[in-house]
Amino acid sequence: MLNSKKTLTVLLTALLFSTVSFSQWLKPKGKGYYKISAWYLNTNQHYTDSGDIDPNVTRGYFNLNFFGDYGISDNLDIIAYVPFFSRTHRNDVLSGTTGKVIAKGEVFNSIGDIDIGIELKFLKTRKLALSGGIFLGLPTGNSSGGSDKSFQTGDGEFNQLVRVNFGIPFSISEVPFYSKAYLGFNNRTKNYSDEFRLGLETGLNILNNKVWLIGRSDIIKSLKNGSLNAQNNQGNIFANNIEYVSLGGEIAYYISKKFGISFYYAGALSGRIIAANPSYSLGVFLDIK
């Protein structure tokens, strides 16, 4: 099975992070991969609409999320990403001259936007796997939280991501590797712009199948066909036309044949209207093979 992703729409950020089951392909019938993760982003700078990096007051985004991938049949998986607790905060701003608080910080807690989807096997040979999926982004988060409505744990829109995945297994010096890629189109509603998505990933399995090392890059390109902007929304928008190229790395360690822990690090190499700081994710997983 290929990656499942969830874009967390947080402030301007919406920095994508990925959760993954380390087997490359769809789950066999009755098998599954389940993971509980804590994800964190602390950001004091962002990419502007021109791609420059500007400072911003420090904001933190944290969530606890569940990811599950279950094989309904050998050819069909059901996938869910549930950020069951999302927390955003903004730092106090203090005068460097007087030491007094200029702007008081704030915290907002909510559930995040839930993704659910299915993935269907098209082809699987010893050298190639092809699959496709559709993922629905449910607006279960809060799109106007906090005193100034900027403490958002969701974008408030229902989106549909259609994705095609390609994967190949191979080995180098008897070390098992895989590489995979996906192409996707995300249809967004409520006047947000649609998006093209592209992802590349490669991983290797070492230490007698105990450790996965994975590198991953995601690219989001906005079609800029959504009319939502500050002009028609009383100056208050939440990050339409986000674009970025991110690079991340993950290490997963199987404590036993079924249980393991993973750590993921990702950051945007370039982007527009997105955080310019890295995010981190730490999780425990159950892999029923």
Partner 1 sequence: MNRISFSSLLVCILFFFGCIGEDIVNDEVDPEVRILNPVNSISVSEMYQFNATFFNNVGQPEPVSISWSSSNESVAAINNNGLINAISEGQTTIKAIVSYNSTTIETDTAITVITGTVDQSLDTKSGTIISTSGYELTGDFTLKMIENTNNLQLTLGSSYKASSSLPGLYVYLTNNPNTVANAYEIGPVTIFEGSHTYTIPNVGINDYSYLLYWCKPFGVKVGGGDINN
Residue 144 found at the interface with partner 1 (CB under 8 A): no
Provide the 3-class DSSP secondary structure of residue 17: strand
The two three-digit tokens of residue 48, written as one number: 């502007």
At 89, which amino acid appears? H
Amino acid identity, position 156: G
Q: What gap in Å lies between CA 188 and CA 156, rounded to an integer?
A: 10
Q: Is the dihedral of CA 119, 121, 124, 128 positive or negative?
A: negative
Binds partner 1 (CB under 8 A): choice among 78, 80, 105, 277: 105
The residues with which 89 forms a beta bridge, in sequence order, are 60, 107
Tokens coding 279: 């995010």
In the list 9, 150, 193, 222, the residue contacting partner 1 (rule: CB under 8 A) is 150
Q: How many CA atoms lie within 13 A of 76 on its CB side?
A: 5
What distance in Å separates the CA atoms of residue 113 and residue 190, rounded to the nearest whole number?
15
> 59-88: which residues touch partner 1 (CB under 8 A)?
60, 62, 64, 87
Question: Counting contacts by CB under 8 A, is residue 188 touching partner 1?
Answer: no
* Binding of residue 156 to partner 1 (CB under 8 A): no
Instruction: Tell me if 90 contacts partner 1 by CB under 8 A.
Output: yes
Q: State which of residues 97, 125, 173, 208 lies at the interface with partner 1 (CB under 8 A).
A: 97
Q: Does 237 contact partner 1 by CB under 8 A?
A: yes
How far is Cα 285 from Cα 146, in angstroms, rounded to an integer? 33
Q: Which of 175, 230, 251, 269 binds partner 1 (CB under 8 A)?
A: 230
The mark string for 11-50 relative to partner 1 (x by CB under 8 A, - otherwise) is: xx-------------------------x-x-x-x-x-xxx
> Which chain residues interact with partner 1 by CB under 8 A?
11-12, 38, 40, 42, 44, 46, 48-58, 60, 62, 64, 87, 89-98, 102-103, 105-107, 148, 150, 229-231, 234-239, 241, 272-273
